[in-house]
Amino acid sequence: MMQLSKRLEQNSLIDSKITFFLNQLNTWYTQNKRDLPWRQTTDPYKILVSEMMLQQTQVMRVIPKYDAFLSRFPTIEALAQSPLSDVLSLWIGLGYNRRAKYVHQAAQYVVQSYKGIFPNTVEDLITIPGIGPYTAGAICAFAYNKPVVVIDANVKKVLNRVFGVDVCDMPKLLKKLLDEKIMQPRDFYNALMDVASEYYARGASLEHYPFTQICLWSNGHDIVELKTYKQSKFIGSNRWYRGQILKMLNAIPTGELKFSDIEELNESEKYVSAIEQLLAEKLLVRDSVKIYLAK
């Protein structure tokens, strides 16, 4: 076991790194924050729309779509009452059209079950169809300014590069960072997203990078490599993709998946090779535009 004095020394090193990190982040953010349209609101409906659009689509492409979407559906009731086809046609250009369906479903559910007023806890929010843990957390942080854990690709990159932690240790670190109360949760998460976008794009300059003194990555240290998407050996394995396809086909009332839908899936190339196998094994059948389960 590590000597107590050494352990205490290490703890205080981590604590001073945390305070330094937060003070740097806070100062940097005050001077460099981006003025994004969804930062001018605390309306959970608008936050939901922005977060659904921002998953997998770049900020610059989202901005005009976000504005157009809210002009057409200014309230959750307006969205809930509109046919899905209207929602889909506004979503075109963002890709991942299933997200349009999720936003629409979520709106209808909140109108029916909560009279249009969003709940304000992660536990309640994740019970809404179409809202997963990330979106629930983002709504709590951005709409309600609650100190909850929110981990997206940006947050992951900052914590991994500065502190060298893997995803499984991030909730604990985020709680510690929020507990310091140096930054408000809303600002804190916005700041992490801004830092990632400013400094972690390929070829970005590290001039004025706020974490130069403490960042493991910018100082050339080895850091644990972030696993993308998969958390276990099974998740992300070929067997897992095959299972996902069969589950999806089972869950879809028509029992069919169009090639265009498959192309929109995250990691679609992995789905495609799993589908090729399932076709070769005659578990699936295809025609010119879709696949379906063999009868």
User: What is the pairing mode between strands 284-286 and 256-258?
Assistant: unpaired
Catalytic one of 9, 51, 267, 269: 51
The nearest distance, CB 242 to ligand ADE, in angstroms, is 30
Which amino acid is residue 254, in one-letter code?
T
Cβ atoms within 10 Å of 165's Cβ, excluding its own: 18
Q: Which is nearer to ligand ADE, 62 or 245 (by Cβ)?
A: 62
Q: Which is nearer to ligand ADE, 33 or 227 (by Cβ)?
A: 33
What residues make contact with ligand ADE under the rule CB under 6 A? 36, 38, 51, 54, 59, 152, 154, 193
Which phi and psi angles does 258 have, rounded to 5°?
Answer: -80, 150
Q: Which is nearer to ligand ADE, 41 or 277 (by Cβ)?
A: 41
Q: Which is nearer to ligand ADE, 38 or 73 (by Cβ)?
A: 38
The nearest distance, CB 62 to ligand ADE, in angstroms, is 8
The nearest distance, CB 189 to ligand ADE, in angstroms, is 7
- Annotated active-site residue 51? The verdict is yes
The nearest distance, CB 16 to ligand ADE, in angstroms, is 29
Catalytic residues: 51
